[in-house]
Chain A
Amino acid sequence: MHNFTPLASLLGGMLIGLSASAMLLLDGKIAGISGILAGVLKPVKGDTLWRLCFLVGLLAGGLLLRRILPIAFDFGLVRPFPLLALAGLLVGFGTRLGSGCTSGHGICGMSRLSPRSLVATAIFMFTGALVVYLLDHLARGSL
């Protein structure tokens, strides 16, 4: 196992949990990123501004990371562009069809012990691992 970073990951995870907790306790909202973005792409009156503020905050946080922690954008492994485009399509479509992503299902839903989120998280982890196996083990070198 290389690049194992349990402490940084735990700390980062707690910050994510803190942010999601503030959204819940203060604003009463679920911090599910795919849902927040989808609500901006298809705006509903009176339910858009908070989403926009969250996304602008996300971007502001990204700009801050660029300054204080440039390694955050040292991607390390960048798939060829056509694969990335396909990946984006699948992520966008799949998170809408399945009503959530890693944050909404994986963190918020799992913490609430929501059966839908437990099932969704198990499934996306499984298919993610399956694709990595197919791509990086079976097809290694042929791409």
Chain B
Amino acid sequence: MKALLTSFISGMVFALGLGISGMTRPIKVIGFLDFFGAWDASLAFVMIGAIAVYFIAYHWSRKMPSPLLAADFSLPRRGDLDANLILGAAIFGAGWGLGGFCPGPALTSVASGAPAVLIFVAAMVVGMYAHTWLIELRAATSDWAASSSKDILDA
């Protein structure tokens, strides 16, 4: 119960952070990615702030036998670079530059009720299901799916 409350409150604080930082505004995101135009460096500060805090938390967590409200840490363990990672990141980046939204800000912005956001989020959900279907299709036709059907912990 406490763990679920933590998730809810963390989600809320995450959304506030996104809103305050400017991440929910495509003009800021696209301005940040516009290295050859009127570059807006603001979003670099979002990463600096977030990483500075999380870096400390991560090092703290390594000294803990388990998290405070759960049995164990579920962290990604992979260290290898594969084609899926590289291709996936490239495709995601293209969509990010195109729309100016990444998943967190898009989901937070659903609260605005703006049709643009609803269209983006609906398409994003379809894109996620499309990936699942592709994996299942591959699994059904051959067995090279093994390397792709990693679980969702790989963040």
Q: Is the pair B25, A76 in contact by a Cβ cutoff of 8 Å? A: yes
Q: Count how many chain B residues have C-beta atoms less than 8 Å from C-beta atoms of the other chain.
A: 124
Q: Is the pair B99, A79 in contact by a Cβ cutoff of 8 Å? A: yes
B111 in complex: contacting residue of A7, A24, A65, A71, CB < 8 Å: A65
Q: Count how many chain A residues have C-beta atoms less than 8 Å from C-beta atoms of the other chain.
A: 119
Identify whether the interface residues of B are mostly helix, strand, loop, or mixed: helix
- What are the residues of chain B within 8 A of A78 when measuring CB–CB? 26, 114, 116
B53 in complex: contacting residue of A21, A63, A87, A129, CB < 8 Å: A21
Nearest-Cβ distance from residue B78 to partner chain A, whole angstroms: 6
A120 in complex: contacting residue of B19, B35, B89, B106, CB < 8 Å: B89
Q: Is the pair A21, B54 in contact by a Cβ cutoff of 8 Å? A: yes
Q: List 20 A-B contacts (CB under 8 A).
A: A1-B41, A2-B38, A3-B40, A4-B42, A6-B42, A13-B17, A26-B68, A41-B125, A62-B107, A75-B26, A84-B116, A88-B101, A89-B123, A89-B124, A93-B127, A94-B91, A94-B95, A96-B88, A103-B102, A128-B97
List A residues 1-49 near B (Cβ within 8 Å): 1-35, 37-39, 41-42, 49
Q: Is the pair A115, B7 in contact by a Cβ cutoff of 8 Å? A: no
Rounded to whole angstroms, the CA-CA distance of A20 and B61 in the bound complex is 12
- What are the residues of chain A within 8 A of B23 when measuring CB–CB? 12
Q: Is the pair A106, B11 in contact by a Cβ cutoff of 8 Å? A: no
Q: Is the pair A76, B27 in contact by a Cβ cutoff of 8 Å? A: yes
Per-residue A-contact encoding for B23-63, CB less than 8 Å = 1, 0 else: 11111101101111111111111111111111111101100
Contact residues of B with A, CB < 8 Å? 2-28, 30-31, 33-58, 60-61, 64, 66-76, 78-81, 84-104, 106-112, 114-116, 119-132, 148, 150, 152-155
Rounded to whole angstroms, the CA-CA distance of A37 and B21 in the bound complex is 22
Q: Is the pair A84, B99 in contact by a Cβ cutoff of 8 Å? A: yes
- What are the residues of chain B within 8 A of A87 when measuring CB–CB? 95-96, 98-101, 120, 123
Q: Is the pair A88, B47 in contact by a Cβ cutoff of 8 Å? A: no
Rounded to whole angstroms, the CA-CA distance of A69 and B95 in the bound complex is 26
Q: Is the pair B132, A96 in contact by a Cβ cutoff of 8 Å? A: yes
